[in-house]
Amino acid sequence: MKENDLQDRAKKIDYILKKTYVDAKCALDFKNPLELLVSTILSAQCTDKRVNLVTPAVFKKYKTAKDYAQANVHEFQTLIRSTGFYQNKTKNILGAMKVIDERHDGKVPQALDELVKLPGIGRKTANVILGNAFGTAGIVVDTHMLRLSHRMGLTKNHDPVKVEFDLMKLIPKREWTMFSHRMIHHGRAICVARKPLCSKCPVEMLCPKIGVKVHA
């Protein structure tokens, strides 16, 4: 398919999803960039619902980057244990906060190239932070986005970074963040990993159903 035709399909898909998921937004609860950074790292291999149950106690105890940097490792692990992989998440969160405290005056950096230098922060997490905390457009390629973009024939790549760049060519920049929210919502509600609800899908007529298997 020619790129112009693919762009047309992608824009039509986004238009329909925009009408379908009018309230699409980040499912993580946060009040500032620091809280979003913590929540996003905790959300790895964990549901947003579980993260939102855990973070109130975390945010009450730790207010600043320095608070996290100086946190007792065992106490922090206890607070986040139920999110899974708590040891690695503790290492990443406390490590990232130490860098933020020492090199960024306690503030989450607003540039992608600086964010990805922090422990536990890849392009996906960085784009979540940039798009939702700072209003900087970015496409978030999580397991839902990866699965849906293949099923919809929007990419042939499997590497998340390559998929991100493929989608950047198809979707207007102003829509990148919201397109991500809509696709993720659609992946959770209709286009699920196993037995997608195609008969209920508002974009079924635009989906080639290429059947590429992507682990969710």
Catalytic residues: 124, 142
CA angle, residues 13, 17, 18, in degrees to nearest 5: 115
Alpha helices per DSSP H over the chain: 3-20, 33-42, 48-61, 65-69, 73-80, 86-103, 112-115, 123-133, 143-151, 160-170, 176-189
Instruction: Report the SS3 class of residue 36.
Output: helix
- Tokens (6 digits) for 8: 């047309």
Other Cβ atoms closer than 10 A to 164: 23
Instruction: Report the SS3 class of residue 54.
Output: helix
Query: Of 31, 81, 26, 92, nearest to 53 (Cα)?
Result: 81
